[in-house]
Amino acid sequence: MLTAFARAFQTPDLRKKLLFTLGIVVLFRFGAHVPTPGVSYQNVQYCVAGIEQGNAGLFGLVNMFSGGALMQLTIFALGIMPYITASIILQLLVVVIPRLEALKKEGQSGQAKITQYTRYLTVALAVLQATGLVATARSGSLFPGCDRPIIPDDGIYTTVLMIITLTAATALIMWMGELITDRGIGNGMSMLMFVSIASGFPAALWSIKQGGTLADGWIEFGVVVVVGLAIVFLVVFVELAQRRIPVQYAKRMIGRRAYGGTSTYIPLKVNQAGVIPVIFASSLLYIPMLLVTFSDSEAGWADWVQRHLQSMDSPIYLITYFLLIVFFAFFYVSITFNPEDVAENMKKYGGFIPGIRAGRPTVEYLSYVLNRITWPGALYLGMIALIPAVALIMFGAQGEFPFGGTSILIIVGVGLETCRQIESQLHQRNYEGFLR
């Protein structure tokens, strides 16, 4: 592995891409520590030190994707979340809007148009989220119980300035991600997401050590590291697992030449949905708490939500979270993988699955295999997502256990894809590759 890194840096153009990516990452992390104009930095630090742990459950997802910048109210407080939301919305709209579906089938030009729509939607969502964040911080809901004003000046000029700054910073993050994709090692948005999540690992591990009681917390720290490595191994194993459905293409004679006759396969991953179901389930569970927070209601429903849907150690929360992940896993797979389109394309080019007739039998076979392989993937996502709750009960990790949930899925997924990118670059230059 170290030799592969040395070879990567010995190649001039690949070294330039790696250094360019590293420079963008440094700028991205620098922006996560620059306070937003109009925010009292001292008061934010005071409130964060007092109640951040208790409030992590409500804004934890956005705070994780921003690399901790949300709770610090820096210029990159929104992070990459508006772009992620916009991308998911466009993916869902492609299925239901014929115009977008036609653009997707046009190839590279159509995909460029969809990317442009994603950018516009990202900016619009950034304006909405920035307005909501400023209103939340001003009302005191971001740090409940803190007696110091986060935004001392509540004038319209300060409010507009903060919204413009947060929106422009989100557009800057989107531009940085595209620069990494075009001039760096690729997967720009995923790389920034990886950096944001990984930046919180040291603090989370150290908090577990400080909260431990055995040998000054070092025993708990060691147990968490060992368990974390085992979880990473499990996630890597499942993320790389796939069911390969063989496909045979018939030979065709055109003139005196024979075409086709090749064999290939359709790779169906065990975790076909990726991390999207966990994000959907987390976001949906935040909605009741947001309604209670902004309504300040003392009704019976508000009390029930606070008792059962706010804390990770609530059985109702855990069961609901798990069931939502399983549901969204099947839902997302059903809209992203269409067996009818796959069977139609195979039939168009003379392909068939050995032992299965083309047409409707192929569609039924693909649907059967997809449903069977989605079940273990959905259950795996649910178990991985519940690991922070188990850590909260066993180690008192305060919801900051790093080896579980959305964080570990994204870390491992982006890490594997980045290794593949570097390995392909090395193979193009006749080297042994990045992963031996």
User: From CA 251, how far away is CA 114, in angstroms rounded?
Assistant: 37
Domain ranges for the chain: 1-199, 201-403
Per-state percent for the chain, helix, strand, coil, to nearest 5: 70, 5, 20
Asked whether residue 435 carries a pLDDT value surpassing 60, the answer given is: no
Question: What pLDDT sits at residue 252?
Answer: 65
pLDDT band, very low/low/confident/very high, at 197 (cuts 50, 70, 90): confident
Q: Percent of the chain scored above 70 by pLDDT?
A: 84
Question: What pLDDT sits at residue 23?
Answer: 93
Q: Which of 114-123, 137-146, 150-159, 202-211 has the highest mean pLDDT?
A: 114-123
1-199 and 201-403: identical CATH topology: yes
Q: With 0-12 CB in 10 A as exposed, 13-18 as middle and 19+ as buried, what is 59?
A: buried
Of 240-254, 279-293, 411-425, the least confident? 279-293
Mean model confidence pLDDT for the chain: 81
Question: What pLDDT sits at residue 169?
Answer: 93
Asked whether residue 187 carries a pLDDT value surpassing 90, the answer given is: no
Q: For the residues 189-218, what does the mean pLDDT come to?
A: 79
The top-level CATH class assigned to 1-199 is: mainly alpha
User: From CA 384, how far away is CA 391, in angstroms rounded?
Assistant: 12
Asked whether residue 143 carries a pLDDT value surpassing 60, the answer given is: yes
Question: What pLDDT sits at residue 52?
Answer: 45
Of 51-65, 222-236, 298-312, the least confident? 51-65
Q: For the residues 289-302, what does the mean pLDDT come to?
A: 67
Question: What pLDDT sits at residue 119?
Answer: 93
Asked whether residue 388 carries a pLDDT value surpassing 80, the answer given is: no
Q: For the residues 327-341, what does the mean pLDDT come to?
A: 88
Please report which helix (H) or strand (E) contains residue 254, including its range: strand 251-254
Residue 216 DSSP code? G
Q: With 0-12 CB in 10 A as exposed, 13-18 as middle and 19+ as buried, what is 96?
A: exposed
Long-range CB contact pairs, 166-169, < 8 A, 24+: 166/36, 166/75, 166/77, 166/78, 166/126, 166/129, 166/130, 166/133, 166/134, 167/123, 167/126, 167/127, 167/130, 169/31, 169/75, 169/76, 169/77, 169/78
Instruction: Enter the pTM of the model.
Output: 0.80
Q: What pLDDT digit, counting tens, does each position of 154-184 carry? A: 788 989 999 999 999 999 999 999 999 888 8
Of 74-78, 148-152, 221-225, 310-314, the least confident? 310-314
DSSP lists the bridge partners of residue 257 as 254
Cα 390 to Cα 82, 282, 284, 341, 386: the distances in Å are 30, 16, 21, 41, 7
Q: What pLDDT digit, counting tens, does each position of 36-83 carry? A: 998 888 888 888 776 544 444 556 667 777 777 888 889 998 888 889
Question: What pLDDT sits at residue 184?
Answer: 85
pLDDT band, very low/low/confident/very high, at 223 (cuts 50, 70, 90): confident
Question: What pLDDT sits at residue 92?
Answer: 82
For residue 165, what are its two tokens? 């700054």
Q: Percent of the chain scored above 90 by pLDDT?
A: 16
Question: What pLDDT sits at residue 56?
Answer: 47
Residue 74 DSSP code? B
Question: What pLDDT sits at residue 54?
Answer: 41
Question: What pLDDT sits at residue 261?
Answer: 64
Q: Which superfamily is assigned to 201-403 in CATH?
A: SecY subunit domain (1.10.3370.10)
